[in-house]
A and B are shown apart, each in its own frame.
Chain A
Amino acid sequence: MILDSKIPEGPLAEKWDKHKFNVKLVNPANKRKYEVIVVGTGLAGASAAATLGELGYNVKAFCFQDSPRRAHSIAAQGGINAAKNYQNDGDSVFRLFYDTIKGGDYRAREANVYRLAQVSVDIIDQCVAQGVPFAREYGGLLANRSFGGAQVSRTFYARGQTGQQLLLGAYSALNRQIAYGKVKMYPRTEMLDLVMVDGKARGIVVRNLITGKIESHSAHAVVLATGGYGNVFFLSTNAMGSNATAAWRAHKKGALFANPCFTQIHPTCIPVSGEYQSKLTLMSESLRNDGRVWVPKTVELAQRLRRGEIAINDIAEEDRDYYLERKYPAFGNLVPRDVASRNAKLVCDEGRGVGGSGLAVYLDFADAIKRDGQPAIAAKYGNLFEMYAKITDENPYEKPMRIYPAVHYTMGGLWVDYNLMTNIPGLYATGECNFSDHGANRLGASALMQGLADGYFVIPYTIGDYLAQMPYAKVSTDHPAFKEAEEAVIAKNQQLLSIKGTRTVDEFHKALGLLMWDYCGMARNAEGLQFAKQEIRKLRDEFWRDVKVTGVNEELNITLEKANRVADFLELGELMVDDALHRNESCGGHFREEYQTPENEALRDDENFAYVAAWEFTGVGNEPVLHKEDLKFENVKLTQRSYK
C-alpha cells in the first residue's frame, strides 16, 4: 500500500486555494441526490453535518448522547486560536502555522497545518455571525488572550466555556438544518460497524441505545467525527461515554490508524483522590498565566508535608522549588503542555510530590493575589476556583491548588489525506478522530480550531470532489454487505452477553487504564512497553473469557454499551503500545526514556522518524503492518524545541 497524502503542488500559501479550484463540484441540483452520514456531533461533526445540509446534501447525523449538544467538545474551557491579528502584535497565518508545526514537534504535515491557520480566521467570523458570545472589550470589539505559551494574543474565548459556546453555535446551525429536513438526527444511537461495498464506504450499522435495535444506514459517503480515544486510559478528562469504537471498527475494516501513541497529557488537572475515581477534571491551562508551579526542594520536606507534620506555610520561600521557572526562564510556567507534564512527573518520581498520594504539585496563586488583589484573580478565574473548591473541598484562595497531569487529548487517529479522506474511499475522519494537524503535541486552543476548520471549511469542499465521481444510485440496506455487518454486530453482542463471567467491564477497563498509564503514559521505555503488550493481551483474553455483562440486547443496556467500547480499547491499547515501541525517539507527547538529552528534554530523531506511522489491522492478536508517510518540511527548519 502506498500512502498518497494528495498534497497539492505549489507554494505552501497557495495550495489550498489552488486545490479548491481543482476539486470537482457537484451541481447544486444534484446535491440532493447524495446522502452523507456524519457520526458524532461535536464541533467537527455538527459543523460538518450543518454545512453539508446547507449545501444541499441529505445528511444523517448520529450521536450516542441524548442530544447533539452534549458531545464532549462542550467541555473545552480555554479558547480557540485564530490568526486575526486583531491585537496588532505581529500575528499572521504563517506565525500560527509555524507555532503549530513547532508545537507539534515537527510531526505534522505542513500543508494541512497551513490550511488550518488560513481558515482559522473564517471560523471566528462564522461563530460571531451565529451569535456566539465571545468576550469583548469595552469598545465592543472582540477580546483576545495569550494562551498555552503563545507569544501573541490570538486566542478568542468565552469565559471558561469556549467549547460550550462554539458547540452551541454549531448545534444551532445543525438544528436549523434538522428543521429544514436536510439533516436527520439520530441521538442515542451508536455506530458499531462500517459497511463497505466494492471497496468503498457505503454505510454504517448502528445500535439504538434505547431499544437495542441493530439498524443499517446507507449513504454515498461516511464522515467519522467521533473524537479521541483518551478513555483507553480509563481515567482521563474525556467524558464517560467518549470512546473509540466507531474509529476502531473502521480501522478493522481497513482504515489505517496513524500515530496512535501520540497522546496529550494535560499538566493542570485535579489529582486522583481514590480508587473509585471515575474521571479527571481539567483546570484550564490559563491558570498557569498567574499561578506558580512548585514542590518542596527536598524529598524530606515533601515527606513531612505529606505526613501532615508540617503545613504548607511552614515551607520557607527558599525551600520551594519553582522548577519550571528555574529550568525554563524564558517561558517559565507557560511552557507547552508536554514539557509541563513531564516535569511534574519528574519531581513526583523524585519523591517531592505533594498531597496524600505524593502525585501532585502545587499551583500557587499567593503571589498573584498579593500583586493584583483577590478580586482581580476572582474575576479571571472565579469559576475555576469554585469548581476546584467544589471537588476538593479546599479553598484555592488560601491554599495552593494541587494539580497533576492527566490524559486529555489524542493527537493520533485515523490516517487521512489532505482531503480528510482515509485510505478507504468515501470514509472521512475529522476533528480529534483523525491524526492530521497536531503532530506529536497539540497546542492550547488548537483543538476547537481544528474541529471547526474541518467541519465548516474543509470537508464541505473536499467531499464534493469525491461525490462528483459517485453514481447517484443508492445501495439498499438489504445488500449482503449490510446484512453481513449486521449479523457480525449481533453476534458480537450476543457473545458479550453469553460469557456471564465474574469480572465487571469497569474492572477490565481500570486494569487496562493502569497498564497504559504506567507503561504508555507520560514516559515510556522499551522494556515497559514490551511488558505492557503482553499484559494487555492477557487482559484481553481474560475479558473475553470472564467478563460479566447482564441483561439483554433489546433494551437500554448500559453494561453492554460499555463492554463493546472496552473490547475495542483492549485492542487499541495494544496498537498504541506497538506504535510507542517502534518510535525510537522522543517527540511531543511521546517521551521515550531512552531518548533524552542530558537535561531530560525530548530527543527527536528527524533522520529516522520524520514520518507518520500509519498502521494496518491484520487481525486481533496479529502484528499490525506499518506504512510510513514521510513528512517533508520545505517551509520550516527543524530545530530542537527549546523553551529555556
Chain B
Amino acid sequence: MVTYPVKGISPDMSFLEMLDVLNEDLLLRGDEPIAFDHDCREGICGMCSLYINGRAHGPERGTTTCQLHMRHFKDGDTITIEPWRAAAFPVHRDLVVDRSAMDRIQQAGGYISVNTGGVPDANTIPIPKTIADKAFDAATCIQCGACVAACKNASAMLFLSAKVSQLAMLPQGKVEAKTRVENMLAQHDAEGFGACSNIGACAAECPVGISLDNIAMLNREYISAKATSENVA
C-alpha cells in the first residue's frame, strides 16, 4: 500500500476528479499515474469500481464511485482505496480488475434467442404494468461488480439473479427460462465466484438498488428448472 498526499480538493469535486488531480500531480513529478477504471462518470456504465474506506463504491449508499463527492470526506482524512477483490476478478494493474467473468455469465444465457427481424408487433403480448416495472427494476443492474466486491463470499449471485429474474418475469423470456438459469448458474460457479449465504451485503451496497428478492426468484427458477427441465446431462 502506498500513501499519497493530495492538495487543493474542493468539496464539490467528485471522487474520481480527486484522483484526476492526484494523477496530474504524479505525472508532473514524473511518476506513473494510478490506473483506475471509469468511463461515463454519471453512474450508469458500471465501469468505476473502487473499494473506498472499506466499502464498495465508498460510504454513500446507492451511489457509484463516480457519483461520490468529496464533501462526504473531511479535510485531512486518509482514504484507503482498493480494487475489487475476488478470485474471479484478477487485478490487471493498480485498481483495474478484469470483470470479463460477468460477460461470460451473460453469454451463457442472458438473452432471448430471437434473430433480428421477423418478430411480432411490440404490442402483441400485453405485459401487466406491475410485472413490467419489476422486470425493469431487475434490469437496472449496471454490472459493476459491487455485489461481488461487498460479498463476504465474493458471490455474483445478485448480478446473476437480476438478469435471470428480468427475463423470467417477461413472457418473451419464459420460453428459455429453464436452460437459461441452469447454464448461467453453471457458468457462475465455473468462474470461481462464491455461494450466496443471504448476508445481504450485496443489496445494501448495490448502487442501483437491486433487491434480494431477485436472488429468491433465481433460487425458485433454479429449483423448478432442475426438477422439470429436459436436461439430464
- Are any A and B Cβ atoms less than 8 Å apart in their complex? yes
| Interface, chain A (partner B; CB < 8 A) | 47, 50-51, 54, 65-72, 74-75, 84, 86, 122, 124-131, 133-142, 158-159, 161, 163-165, 168, 171-173, 175-176, 178-179, 185, 187, 210, 237, 239-241, 273-274, 276-279, 281-282, 387, 390-393, 456-457, 460, 502, 504, 506-507, 548, 550-551, 555-556, 558-559
Q: Which of B73-81, B132-140, B191-199, B215-223 contacts A (4 or more CB under 8 A)?
A: B132-140
A562 and chain B: residue at smallest CB distance: B33
A241 to B37, CA, bound (A): 10
A126 to B116, CA, bound (A): 7
Given contacts A164-B142, A178-B107, 7 further A-B contacts (CB under 8 A): A128-B172, A135-B132, A159-B136, A187-B103, A278-B20, A391-B67, A456-B117
Partner of B17, one of A54, A68, A130, A277: A277
Min CB gap B26→A, angstroms? 8
Q: Is the CB of A75 within 8 A of B44?
A: yes
Q: Is the CB of B116 within 8 A of A457?
A: yes
A456 to B119, CA, bound (A): 13
Q: Is the CB of B45 within 8 A of A70?
A: yes
- 5 A-B contacts, Cβ less than 8 Å apart? A71-B45, A130-B111, A173-B114, A240-B40, A556-B93
Which residues of chain B (15-39) have a CB below 8 Å from chain A?
16-17, 20-21, 24, 27-28, 30-33, 35, 37-39
- Chain B residues closer than 8 Å to A391, beta-carbon distance: 14, 67, 69
Asked, given contacts A86-B123, A141-B126, A278-B16, whether A50 binds B92 with beta carbons under 8 Å apart, the answer is: no
Q: Which of B94-102, B148-156, B225-233 contacts A (4 or more CB under 8 A)?
A: B94-102
Q: Is the CB of B172 within 8 A of A131?
A: yes
A-B complex: 6 closest residue pairs judged by Cβ atoms? A140-B126, A172-B111, A129-B119, A133-B136, A128-B122, A239-B39
Q: Is the CB of A175 within 8 A of B47?
A: no
B168 and chain A: residue at smallest CB distance: A131
B27 and chain A: residue at smallest CB distance: A504
Verify if B127 is at the interface (C-beta below 8 Å from A): yes
Verify if B224 is at the interface (C-beta below 8 Å from A): no
Min CB gap B147→A, angstroms? 15
Q: Is the CB of B45 within 8 A of A239?
A: yes
Partner of B114, one of A129, A136, A187, A276: A129
Verify if B106 is at the interface (C-beta below 8 Å from A): yes
- Chain B residues closer than 8 Å to A276, beta-carbon distance: 10, 13, 17, 20-21
Q: Is the CB of A164 within 8 A of B10?
A: no
Q: Is the CB of A173 within 8 A of B116?
A: yes
Verify if B41 is at the interface (C-beta below 8 Å from A): yes
Q: Is the CB of A140 within 8 A of B100?
A: no
B143 and chain A: residue at smallest CB distance: A69
Partner of B107, one of A134, A175, A241, A556: A175
Q: Is the CB of B45 within 8 A of A75?
A: yes
Q: Is the CB of B132 within 8 A of A133?
A: yes
Q: Is the CB of B132 within 8 A of A550?
A: no
Chain B interface SS verdict (over half) = loop
Q: Is the CB of B92 within 8 A of A241?
A: no
- Chain A residues closer than 8 Å to B143, beta-carbon distance: 67, 69
Min CB gap B152→A, angstroms? 24
1/0 per position for B34-70, CB-CB distance to A under 8 A? 0101111111111100000000000000010001010
A227 to B33, CA, bound (A): 27
Partner of B44, one of A65, A74, A507: A74
Count of chain B residues near A, Cβ 8 A: 74
Asked, given contacts A139-B126, A276-B20, whether A125 binds B120 with beta carbons under 8 Å apart, the answer is: yes
Asked, given contacts A122-B117, A126-B119, A140-B127, whether A74 binds B132 with beta carbons under 8 Å apart, the answer is: no
- Chain B residues closer than 8 Å to A172, beta-carbon distance: 106, 110-112
Partner of A142, one of B14, B47, B108, B123: B123
Q: Is the CB of A74 within 8 A of B117?
A: no
Q: Is the CB of A134 within 8 A of B111?
A: no
B30 and chain A: residue at smallest CB distance: A550
- Chain A residues closer than 8 Å to B38, beta-carbon distance: 240
Q: Is the CB of B116 within 8 A of A460?
A: yes
Q: Is the CB of A51 within 8 A of B116?
A: yes
Q: Is the CB of B20 within 8 A of A506?
A: yes
A502 to B24, CA, bound (A): 11
Partner of A504, one of B24, B67, B92, B129: B24
Asked, given contacts A161-B140, A175-B106, whether A131 binds B166 with beta carbons under 8 Å apart, the answer is: yes
Q: Is the CB of A125 within 8 A of B121?
A: yes
- Chain A residues closer than 8 Å to B107, beta-carbon distance: 175-176, 178-179
A82 and chain B: residue at smallest CB distance: B122
Min CB gap B57→A, angstroms? 12
Q: Is the CB of A239 within 8 A of B119?
A: no
Q: Is the CB of A556 within 8 A of B96?
A: yes
- Chain B residues closer than 8 Å to A122, beta-carbon distance: 117
- Chain A residues closer than 8 Å to B45, beta-carbon distance: 65, 70-72, 74-75, 239
Q: Is the CB of B103 within 8 A of A133?
A: no
Min CB gap B122→A, angstroms? 4
Q: Is the CB of B132 within 8 A of A136?
A: yes
A65 to B33, CA, bound (A): 19
- Chain B residues closer than 8 Å to A66, beta-carbon distance: 37, 47, 98-100
Min CB gap B34→A, angstroms? 9
Identify the interface centre among B45, B120, B167: most chain A CB within 10 Å of its CB.
Answer: B45
Partner of B39, one of A70, A141, A142, A460: A70
Q: Is the CB of A69 within 8 A of B122?
A: no
- Chain A residues closer than 8 Å to B96, beta-carbon distance: 556
Verify if B3 is at the interface (C-beta below 8 Å from A): no
Min CB gap B132→A, angstroms? 4
- Chain B residues closer than 8 Å to A158, beta-carbon distance: 136, 139
Q: Is the CB of B140 within 8 A of A164?
A: yes
Verify if B204 is at the interface (C-beta below 8 Å from A): no
- Chain A residues closer than 8 Å to B112, beta-carbon distance: 129-131, 172
- Chain B residues closer than 8 Å to A133, beta-carbon distance: 132-133, 135-136, 139, 166, 170
A281 to B45, CA, bound (A): 13
Partner of A393, one of B42, B71, B99: B71
- Chain B residues closer than 8 Å to A507, beta-carbon distance: 24
A210 and chain B: residue at smallest CB distance: B92
B19 and chain A: residue at smallest CB distance: A278
- Chain B residues closer than 8 Å to A168, beta-carbon distance: 139
Min CB gap A380→B, angstroms? 14
- Chain B residues closer than 8 Å to A185, beta-carbon distance: 103
Verify if B213 is at the interface (C-beta below 8 Å from A): no
Q: Is the CB of A50 within 8 A of B139?
A: no
Q: Is the CB of A131 within 8 A of B122?
A: no
A165 to B208, CA, bound (A): 14
- Chain A residues closer than 8 Å to B27, beta-carbon distance: 504, 548, 550, 559
- Chain A residues closer than 8 Å to B170, beta-carbon distance: 131, 133
- Chain B residues closer than 8 Å to A175, beta-carbon distance: 103, 106-107, 110-111
A505 and chain B: residue at smallest CB distance: B27
Min CB gap B233→A, angstroms? 17
- Chain B residues closer than 8 Å to A241, beta-carbon distance: 39
A168 to B44, CA, bound (A): 12
A392 to B17, CA, bound (A): 15
Min CB gap A156→B, angstroms? 8
Asked, given contacts A66-B37, A274-B13, A550-B32, whether A50 binds B116 with beta carbons under 8 Å apart, the answer is: yes
- Chain A residues closer than 8 Å to B111, beta-carbon distance: 130-131, 172-173, 175-176
Q: Is the CB of A179 within 8 A of B108?
A: yes
A141 to B42, CA, bound (A): 31
- Chain A residues closer than 8 Å to B31, beta-carbon distance: 550
